[in-house]
Structure 1
Amino acid sequence: MTSIKEQAAISRLLSFLQEWDKAGKVKRSHILDSFIEINQGKTAPELEQEFSQGASLFLVRLTTWLRIIYMTGSCLEKLLRSINIFLSAVSSNRYLIEFLEVGGVLTLLEILGLENVKEEDKKESVKLLQVIANSGRKFKELICESYGVRSIAEFLAKSKSEETQEEVQVLLDSLVHGNPKYQNQVYKGLIALLPCASPKAQQLSLQTLRTAQSVVGTIHPSIVDCVLKVLGTMHLEVQYEAIELIKDLLGYDVRWPLLQGLVALLTPPAKETSKLQRKILTDASVLQLTGHLPVFLQQAAAAKAIGVLARRDLAVAEEMLHLHVVHRLMTAMGNMDHSNSQRLASLALQFFVQTFPLVEEHVHQAMGEELYQLFASNAENLYLKMDSIQADILASNKVNIPKALRLCGVSGSNLNLILGPDDPDHLGCVADFERQDDESQE
């Protein structure tokens, strides 16, 4: 026999449920407002007490209505927030299972791809997915098995709200941890995001990739090209994250191709630079970007990255000498069409000149006395004082490759470890090393 108090509580619950069942959209919206205000932050036992041990009866009504109206977007934000109160409550595993059993994950993922749904609604959907992912490994696997990584990554790339994109980053970070079965899938999804058009998505993807890389351990071969291409961005915050990721990647087995790629960016292909056409800006308030600009942005960013990496680790600086970095930095310094390339290449070259005496000797010889004095006195602003003839001198001179390699104690027998057999300078270097080795023996 139930007590009078229990009967009264059950009666109130039935009355509330009947009110919900009969209510229209406006009335239901008011009910949700009241529910959110009263129950925010309550535990599962407290919710059961509020609903006379029948909280699941209201949750099933919420999930049913969600499946009916989610494509229209009506009251969607309030509805998702109400469901979140149930799923995020302490000891809410029962509610979570009930929500998943009716296809809750698929519904939330589908909301992310709907064009007519507001950004705020999608953000609430992401928050619910965070709650589910944080509930344990099997729930992370369920999201991934539902093609969740693709849906979430595509939404991150298309979202126009930085606040929402940051919530997506939290979700992806959760999915990469404690999810050994699908962590590689998340890792690849993050790499696939790097070429997207959204600078904020690129920035967040690069940040999360640093964490994901340490979790996954192994390197995906496409990451080198993707990260190097990101250096063509106009956004300094993206460039910063790319360089930070490059620092981490040097600790893996892509160190050499990564350094090769960075040094190669200092000298853009001739077919790209030949497209250069000087244009007069008709409107000073509008920046008109020409097709070659990303190439020069990459060049400047590569010079910056080379300077950062060389100062950080002398061993890296020595490895870059093997890759003709001094000659290529001088070539970048001669780029009269992009002053930032000149400035950053000058600063990077200044480090090599100050650190390696033989490099200083060669650069001095290659530049000539007047240009070298300009460089030595103010490398950062050299481009302001340099004329076109001096720029051509920089772009046309080459470093003595064998001499620079010998600086690092490299013998001819070890050259194959540095330059591959297909390197255009390989045969010349080998011949020069053999000659110098013979002379030293004599």
Structure 2
Amino acid sequence: MTSVKEQAAISRLLSFLQDWDNAGKVARSHILNNFIETNQGKTAPELEQEFSQGASLFLVRLTTWLRLTYMTGSRLDKLLRSIGIFLSAVSSNRYLVEFLEVGGALTLLEILALKEIEEEDKKESIKLLQVISNSGRKYKELICESYGVRSIAEFLAKSKSEETQEEVQVLLDSLIHSNPKYQNQVYKGLIALLPCASPKAQQLSLQTLRTAQSIIGTTHPGIVDSVLKVLRTMHLEVQYE
């Protein structure tokens, strides 16, 4: 039999979810602000306690709203950070699986290619992809199977923010490790970045290529010509690498 305390907690959860369902864009932004402030750094059990064992009911609403709005050019930073609280929580594998089952990884990759979306929002998307990649080999493979290496590399080449580009490097470095099925794909993606117009992207690609080369062992025939062309650059930081 449900106790009075449990009934009250369930009632609060249902009221919270109803508030979200009935809220407009501004009200939802306030709800997300409060959620981030209250729950940053919590573990999965703590989130379940906060939501009366119904945290997944809020996560599915966040994921649904993301899929409905990401192509409209709306700001996504608070929404992505809120999803990140679930995905990065200790013992959060259940939330990760729920997010991926509805195409979460593909949505994050598609965000990187959309011109309408702010650079800051794309950086948050990269951070979530880092969380997914760092969760294990099968998750790295899922990103790669979703044409992730190409999307991530193209974003690195086009990004205008060095801070964001450095986050992309962290993601590519994660994808090259413990990913034998697709490590060659990541390696070739890094080589393909060398002729790009962004000196920062060239520098970061060369840094990651050193790690990739030690993992792959065999040298790709296309790397020599690409590196020789990069040596002609006027940017000293690229020449140094």
Task: Give the TM-score normalised by the residue count of structure 1.
Answer: 0.54
Q: Distance in 2 between matches of 1:169 and 1:183?
A: 15
Alignment check: 8 A CA contact 2:75 2:117 kept: no
**Partner letter of residue 177 of structure 1?**
H
Aligned to 1:121: 121
Q: How does 1:188-227 map to 2 (within 5 A)?
A: 188-227=188-227
**Partner letter of residue 64 of structure 1?**
T
Aligned to 2:28: 28
Q: Distance in 1 between matches of 2:79 and 2:215?
A: 35
For 1:234, what is the secondary structure of its paired residue? coil
Q: Distance in 2 between matches of 1:186 and 1:113?
A: 18
- Identity of aligned pairs, percent? 88
| CA deviation string 1:157-199 (max 9, x = no partner) | 0000000000000000000000000000000000000000000
| CA deviation string 1:379-411 (max 9, x = no partner) | xxxxxxxxxxxxxxxxxxxxxxxxxxxxxxxxx
Q: Distance in 2 between matches of 1:223 and 1:145?
A: 24
Aligned to 2:6: 6
Alignment check: 8 A CA contact 1:70 1:111 kept: yes
CA shift for structure 1 position 73 = 3.1
**Partner letter of residue 117 of structure 1?**
I
**Partner letter of residue 30 of structure 1?**
H
Alignment check: 8 A CA contact 1:29 1:75 kept: no
Q: How does 1:143-154 map to 2 (within 5 A)?
A: 143-154=143-154
Q: Distance in 2 between matches of 1:234 and 1:185?
A: 29
Runs of 4+ in 1 over 4 A off after TM superposition: none
Aligned to 2:98: 98
Q: Distance in 2 between matches of 1:73 and 1:170?
A: 26
| CA deviation string 1:348-376 (max 9, x = no partner) | xxxxxxxxxxxxxxxxxxxxxxxxxxxxx
Q: How does 1:11-160 map to 2 (within 5 A)?
A: 11-160=11-160
CA shift for structure 1 position 72 = 1.8
Aligned to 1:171: 171
Gaps of 5+ in 2: none
Q: Distance in 2 between matches of 1:37 and 1:133?
A: 26
**Partner letter of residue 56 of structure 1?**
S
Q: How many residues align?
A: 241
For 2:71, what is the secondary structure of its paired residue? coil
Q: Distance in 2 between matches of 1:70 and 1:41?
A: 25
Gaps of 5+ in 1: 242-442
Q: How does 1:273-312 map to 2 (within 5 A)?
A: none
CA shift for structure 1 position 75 = 3.5
| CA deviation string 1:200-226 (max 9, x = no partner) | 000000000000000011110010000
Task: Tell which structure's C-alpha radius of gyration is larger.
Answer: 1
**Partner letter of residue 176 of structure 2?**
V
CA shift for structure 1 position 71 = 1.0
**Partner letter of residue 113 of structure 1?**
A
| CA deviation string 1:45-81 (max 9, x = no partner) | 0000000000000000000000000112323110000
| CA deviation string 1:246-281 (max 9, x = no partner) | xxxxxxxxxxxxxxxxxxxxxxxxxxxxxxxxxxxx
Q: Distance in 2 between matches of 1:95 and 1:126?
A: 18
Q: Distance in 2 between matches of 1:204 and 1:190?
A: 9
Q: Distance in 1 between matches of 2:214 and 2:239?
A: 20
Two-structure CA RMSD over aligned residues (Å): 0.5
